[in-house]
Amino acid sequence: MDKLSLALVCVGAALSIGLAGCGAGIGMGSGLRGACDGVARNPEAKGVITTTMILGMALCESIAIYGLVIAFILLYANPLLKGFLQV
């Protein structure tokens, strides 16, 4: 694998985890803000709001994990590696 190909794979992996983490952070922050507003307006519904918020946070975090998996695939199990080695 030449240096340019390796550099592009590294940039792709960094963008994958960076954008996924940024999106997950924005989503989690928005969900937490909504949950805090909901509890402030209706304190009796705290249990239901908290349960829904935790479920939403887990779904947002799964997006970041998908980005991490893609970064690992690009770095360690690159499907294009055979093509680079044959050239």
Four-point Cα dihedral 17, 23, 27, 33, nearest 10: 100
* CA angle at 8 for the pair 28 and 4, rounded to the nearest 5°: 165
Average pLDDT over residues 40-60: 93
| 75 vs 69, more confident | 69
Q: What is the pLDDT of residues 28-49, one digit of tens each?
A: 999 999 999 999 999 999 999 9
Domains of the chain listed by start with CATH number:
25-80 (1.20.20.10)
Flag whether the pTM goes above 0.85.
no
